[in-house]
Amino acid sequence: MTSRYGEVLQRWREDPARFWLEAAGAIDWTKPPQIAFDPSAGIYGRWFPDGELNTCHNAVDRHVAAGHGERVAIIYDSPVTGTIRRFTYGELLREVQALALTLTGLGVGKGDRVIVYMPMIPEAVFAMLACARIGAIHSVVFGGFASKELAARIDDAAPKLILSASCGIEPARKVEYKPLLDKAIELARHKPDAVLLKQRPELRASLIEGRDHDWDTTRDAAMARLDAGAPSPCVPVRATDPLYVIYTSGSTGKPKGVVRDNGGNAVALSWSLKNIFATGAGDTFFCASDVGWVVGHCYIVYAPLICGATSILFEGKPIGTPDAGTYWRVVAEHGAKVLFTAPTAIRGIRKEDPDGTLAKRHDLSAFEALFLAGERADPETIIWAEKALDRPVIDHWWQTESGWPMVANPLGLGLLPVKRGSPTVPMPGFDLAILDPAGQPVEAGRMGAIAIRLPLPPGALPTLWNADERFRESYLTEFPGYYSTSDAGFLDEDGYLYVMGRTDDVINVAGHRLSTGEMEEAVGSHPAVAECAVIGMADDLKGEIPCGFVVLKKGSQIDRAAIEAELIAIVREAIGPVAAFRKVLVVDRLPKTRSGKILRRTIKAIVDDKSFETPATIEDPAAIDEIKAIVANGGR
């Protein structure tokens, strides 16, 4: 099939307003937008300013109303608990209606924030949809973050209510969420009115009287009210009203609250699922991420459900639950057409099953393509997956901020030739440019900052939660007229993008976005630490892992091994296990410029065994020799 990409891109370029109004036709509006884009609204303009809709209605109610109540909406597949449960759209509607009644009963209304701190269980999906139903704004926090991170989000979002569960289940341990949550509420200045807690049979938590409510008890009561005729309506909201806030790592310790609006999200996700992922009503989509990440928000919950597809909610890991064939078992058993995961997951599977024999044991006849994103997809991993699966392996590039792929190979429009190492070409809506430091576009083949000419398309962030100025400073001031992605790369002669890495101190650990600046803040809080640098060190499995270098205060008597262990514990306590901060080395000095700037890039180059030039402005070249010697010694 020849790709329709060129023709579709051209249609968007000629008339973006018409293009997106046409795409908006796939959504049910309580007030259909007449205006596609208002350049005078918001910070760089707003999409569908006169539109009104409800996202939950689009994701659930409308499919039931159209007679598809018996179609499966969610397949919860949990190898860690040995459970597989299916929810039809009709059943999902009842669950969401009931939870929406509970939320309103607890005083939550339109515009209020609700934090969701939950594992990958169906109730997490109900939670997001119930918030959307009543016009409340959800903020899902990934379970691998610790109390302090959760507390920072509680203070920023100021939620009325927190929805949580007694535990998450990791292969080697149960994660007790409740003590983490209680501690976060204790640390936070803002206190939620209430907590609604799902007790899991694997581990029960104690409830605090007056504040905490039991999920199942309130559910049963709400179901009884529904049966007695209590209404649980979808509340219409403006297209520009926030659907959710998702926090992501920035350069400083304070996470950024990325705002997603209702209208843009619905339009962009329905367009992208069809045209990029070639998935629609009745198809089964398997996105093996977590609802705590943007990928999970978009492609586990909203996109498949808005399109009337079946979404797989997988509670497990690519390896060890029980083996490296789990993903292929899930794809085969549920007839998934597409699997979307991070390259790390495939590297993990490859390590355990180098010949790809486990994939061959399953009937993958319904399976059409593997999509990879979240970090660089190295060609070796792509080649291995192509061979093991005998299917296209599609790299695509996006960010929490963009809300959907900025650059991809659009399966739904017909694949373009694959160039391994490139996520392919910009999607309609993303007018991509490679800029030099002066903000001038560079020629093909030359490296520069990857930027998007404003306006961003529907579905991308309009601002940061309660932080318009930070939004401008973080993204719009470096290159006036552009959104700066903080990634560097180049376009080749055919317009294919190559992403080379971040230009800030964000690193990607197993597809998880983390801030080394935040880790440095945690390490620096230890009383014996004079200064420190955390860099992302290349790792065969996780892409990158953090590695800390610390200089101790003069006269510190602590044993090196002891302090290293203490620092690892501090980061785990401050950020969470997901930081995977397991390597820290004490050095006598850090390489710095004469003006005192720590040469993190140089340290990274030494650690990764890459060539580098010693900066002419270096303060003390011996600092470089010390790090070289430590690295040559295997870290000691």
Q: What is the DSSP string of 423-491?
A: -BEEPTT-EEEEE-TTSPBPPTT--EEEEEESSP-TTS-S-BTT-HHHHIIIIISSSTTEEEEEEEEEE
The entry of ligand COA, ligand AMP, none near residue 257 (CB within 5 to 8 angstroms by kind) is none
Task: Return the number of the residue (177 or 371) whose C-beta is nearest ligand AMP.
Answer: 371
What is the pattern of x (binds ligand AMP, CB under 6 A) and - over residues 394-413? -xxxxxx-------------
Q: Interface with ligand AMP includes 580 (CB under 6 A)?
A: no
Could you tell me the smallest distance in angstroms from the CB atom of residue 522 to ligand COA?
A: 15
Alpha-carbon gap, residue 33 to 187, rounded angstroms: 43
Distance from C-alpha of 262 to C-alpha of 472, rounded to nearest angstrom: 21
Partner whose footprint covers residue 400, from ligand AMP, ligand COA, none (CB < 5 to 8 Å by kind): ligand AMP
Output the CA torsion sign for 307, 410, 268, 515: positive
The answer to whether residue 451 forms part of the interface with ligand AMP (CB under 6 A) is no
Are the CB atoms for 35 and 27 separated by under 8 Å? no
One symbol per residue from 322 to 361: x for binding ligand COA (CB under 6 A), - otherwise; what is it? Answer: -------------------xx-xx--x-------------
Q: How far apart, in Å, are the Cα atoms of 568 and each of 266, 411, 550?
A: 41, 43, 12
Closest distance of CB 469 from ligand AMP, Å: 21
Stretch that binds ligand AMP, among 130-138, 322-330, 348-356, 369-377 (CB under 6 A): 369-377
Footprint on residues 485-504 left by ligand AMP (CB under 6 A): 485, 487, 499, 502
Burial 14-28 (b: 16+ CB within 10 A, else e): eebeebbbebbebbb
Give the bridge partners for 200, in sequence order. 203
Positions in 42-71 near ligand AMP (CB under 6 A): none
Q: Which is nearer to ligand AMP, 5 or 371 (CB)?
A: 371
Least spacing, CB of residue 371 vs ligand AMP, in Å: 10
Kindly tell me which of 197 and 294 has the beta carbon lying closer to ligand AMP. Answer: 294
- Reply yes or no: is the peptide bond before residue 322 cis, omega within 30 of 0: yes
Judged by beta carbon distances under 5 to 8 A according to partner kind, the member of ligand COA, ligand AMP, none in contact with residue 510 is: ligand COA
CB of 453 to ligand COA, least distance (A): 26
Q: What is the residue whose two structure tokens read 């529907």?
A: 458
Residue 187 amino acid letter: L
Which tokens sit at 549? 């270098």
Closest separation in Å from C-beta 40 to ligand AMP: 29
SS3 content of the chain, % helix, strand, coil (to 5): 35, 25, 40
Residues 508-547 that bind ligand AMP (CB under 6 A): 508, 513
**Of the candidates 454, 577, 605, 608, which one interacts with ligand COA according to CB under 6 A?**
577
Contact flag: residue 427 with ligand AMP (CB under 6 A): no
Q: 99, 137, 180, 294: which one contacts ligand AMP (CB under 6 A)?
A: 294
H-type alpha helices, 353-398: 357-360, 379-389
3-state secondary structure 95-139: HHHHHHHHHHHCCCCCCCEEEEECCCCHHHHHHHHHHHHHCCEEE
Phi and psi at residue 255, in whole multiples of 5°?
-65, 155
Q: State which of residues 104, 248, 275, 602 lies at the interface with ligand AMP (CB under 6 A).
A: 248
Site residues (vs ligand AMP, CB under 6 A) = 248, 294, 373-377, 395-400, 423, 485, 487, 499, 502, 508, 513
Q: Which residues bind ligand COA (CB under 6 A)?
A: 143-144, 168, 170, 175, 288-290, 293, 295, 317-319, 341-342, 344-345, 348, 374, 510-511, 541-542, 577-578, 580
